[in-house]
Amino acid sequence: MKIATSAYPLDWFKNWSEYEAKLTAWVGEAAENGAGLLVFPEYGAMELASLDGAEVAGDLKGSIRAVAGRVAASYDLHAALAARFGVHILAASAPVIEAGKVLNRAALFGPAGLVGVQDKQIMTRFEREDWGIDGAIGGAGPLHVFDTALGRIGILICYDCEFPLLARDLAERGVEILLIPSCTEALEGYWRVRIGAMARALENQCLTVMASLVGAAPRLYAVEENTGMGGIFGPPDRGFPPTGVIAEGVLDRAGWTYAEVDLSAIRDVRADGHVLNKAHWPEQDHALARKTQKPAA
């Protein structure tokens, strides 16, 4: 299959039709290029705050409420586009409000409609201290595995991919493709997520697909500056590039990055790679247990 992952710029909309036209153009372009799985970034939905005007879009709490109020309509649009073009789409994540808590949620759509949603598990300092977004401790939903016609998919939103045990849980449940939508202000943030994405591909012998916000959006609170690019990574082993980089975009250049992938390569390398990171993972526990054992009296 062909995967398309985005370096996505935020826009300012005068009306819903402009947003609908933008999403339709992006999805249409990827589908016309043969992509079956399209990945949008973290917090890409924040551009919807523009529809409520500059005062709301520039306000901390106001922008969250405005975007959360348009998530359902956005889901309807993504479902319609997935059906129209016969593709799977990971929609850009958005804040949602449930039981008084604000969650960072991404939704996966297929040709038949909504496949499921995934909440971000671990919040960055900005999300915790400024935005008040809730993670796993505060009420976010659990990690999910999505069985699709394309394969078994998991989603780690941005910072989540920097924590190995989250990816390991998904890998042990059969996930072969990890989608990593991200939002990073500075270059070091981009590289933290990218290094995490590449490390998770190495450890779990899987594909990781990273999408980024790019460009300046000075009127949209908290996403004013964005740095990144799309990337698709695999284990640096037989059947994959020696760098582990299957495809990457150009830093801060908006557009799609494409890669042809074959999940049989993941299954082959997990079964008979030059190294067997996924299979040998439990040996860490034994090594650490030996280290902490007290010598016999």
pLDDT tens readout for residues 200-247? 999 999 999 999 999 999 999 989 999 999 999 999 999 999 999 999
Let me know if residue 49 belongs to a domain. yes
pLDDT tens digits, 261-283: 999 999 999 999 999 999 999 99
CB 266 within 8 A of CB 20: no
Neighbours of 130 (CB within 10 A): 12
Split into its structural domains, the chain has a count of 1
Return the CATH number at 83.
3.60.110.10
Q: Which domain holds residue 227?
A: 2-290
d(CA 230, CA 242): 19
Q: Would the pLDDT of 294 be above 70?
A: no
Tokens standing for residue 263: 């999940």
Let me know if residue 195 belongs to a domain. yes
Structure letter (DSSP) for residue 86: T
pLDDT tens digits, 98-136: 999 999 999 999 999 999 999 999 999 999 998 899 988
Mean pLDDT of 41-59: 97
d(CA 135, CA 60): 18
d(CA 106, CA 296): 52
Let me know if residue 297 belongs to a domain. no
Let me know if residue 296 belongs to a domain. no
Q: Would the pLDDT of 291 be above 70?
A: no
Let me know if residue 156 belongs to a domain. yes
Residue type at 281? W
Let me know if residue 207 belongs to a domain. yes
The per-residue pLDDT for 296 is: 58
Give phi and psi for 282, each to the nearest 5: -65, -20
Q: pLDDT class for 286, splitting at 50, 70, 90?
A: confident
Q: Does the pTM exceed 0.85? A: yes
